Amino acid sequence: MKQRLKFFAIGFLFFLLFVLFSYVVHKDIFTQFDFNTTVRLQDNISRRFDSIFSIFSDIGVFEVSLGVLLIALIFLRKIRGILALGFFGLFHLIELYGKFFVSHPPPPEFMLRTEKIIDFPQFYIRAQNSYPSGHTGRTAFISIIVGLIVWRSKKLSPTQKFIILGFLIFFDVAMFVSRVYLGEHWTTDVVGGAILGASLGILSMIALL
C-alpha cells in the first residue's frame, strides 16, 4: 500500500508539472529557445544521420508502442495490466487535447528532415499544433514501466539491470533528440510529452505492483 501511495504521489506531481509547463508553453515564453535549439542541433549534426533518426519516427508510432506495451504486460501476467492500457489511452486523449487547445505551431517546413522509412497506416492527428510530442510521451510511458519493473525484479542480476536500464536511457535520449533534430517538434513539445508520459507511466505502476 505504501508503495502504491508513493507512486501515486510522484505521478500526480509530475502531472501537475505537465499542466504548469503546458501553461508556460501556451504563453510562448520559450519560443526563441525552441528555435535556437533546433538550429543548433541541425547545424551540429551531420545530414548523414537523417535516415537513422527517421527510424525513430517509425518506432515511436502508436501501433509499435502499443505492441511493445502489450508484450511487456503479457510477460507480467497480471490482469490489472489492463489499467496500464487505460492510462496509455488517457495519454492520447490528453495529447489530442493539447494539440487542439495549446497554441504551439510545429516547426516550419524548411526545418523538416524526416525521411519516410516505413509506411504505417497509422492514426493521424492534424498537426495544427505540435504540443505535446506523442512519440516522446509514448517512449517515456513505456520506458518508465519497463524500467521500474526491471529495477524491482529479483530475477535479474545487477549487471543485467544495468544493461537494460542503460539501453532504455540511450533509446529515450535518441528518440527525444530525433524529434527536435528532424524538425518534427520543438524542444518544449518533447519536454511536455516526456513529462506527461512519465507521469502516467508512474501512475500505471499502481496497478502493476
Q: What is the mean pLDDT of each run of 10 residues along the chain (209 residues)?
A: 89 98 95 97 94 91 90 78 91 94 92 75 60 96 93 90 96 97 97 98 88
Report pLDDT for 78: 72
Rounded Cα gap, residues 151 and 154, in angstroms: 9
Among 190, 145, 141, 185, CA closest to 164: 145
pTM of the model: 0.90
Give 128's contacts (C-beta < 8 A, 6+ positions apart).
99, 100, 105
The cell for 39 is 538550429
Side-chain half-sphere exposure of 84, counting CA atoms within 13 A: 31
Report pLDDT for 115: 83
Chain center to CA of 138: 4
Q: What is the pLDDT of residues 157-174, one digit of tens each?
A: 999 999 999 999 999 999
Give 124's contacts (C-beta < 8 A, 6+ positions apart).
none
Report pLDDT for 123: 46
Residues 24/191, Cβ–Cβ less than 8 Å: no
* Complete DSSP assignment for 100-127: HHS--PPPPGGG------S--------T
Rounded Cα gap, residues 193 and 75, in angstroms: 26
> Largest Cα–Cα distance in the chain?
52
Give 156's contacts (C-beta < 8 A, 6+ positions apart).
150, 164
Report pLDDT for 127: 57
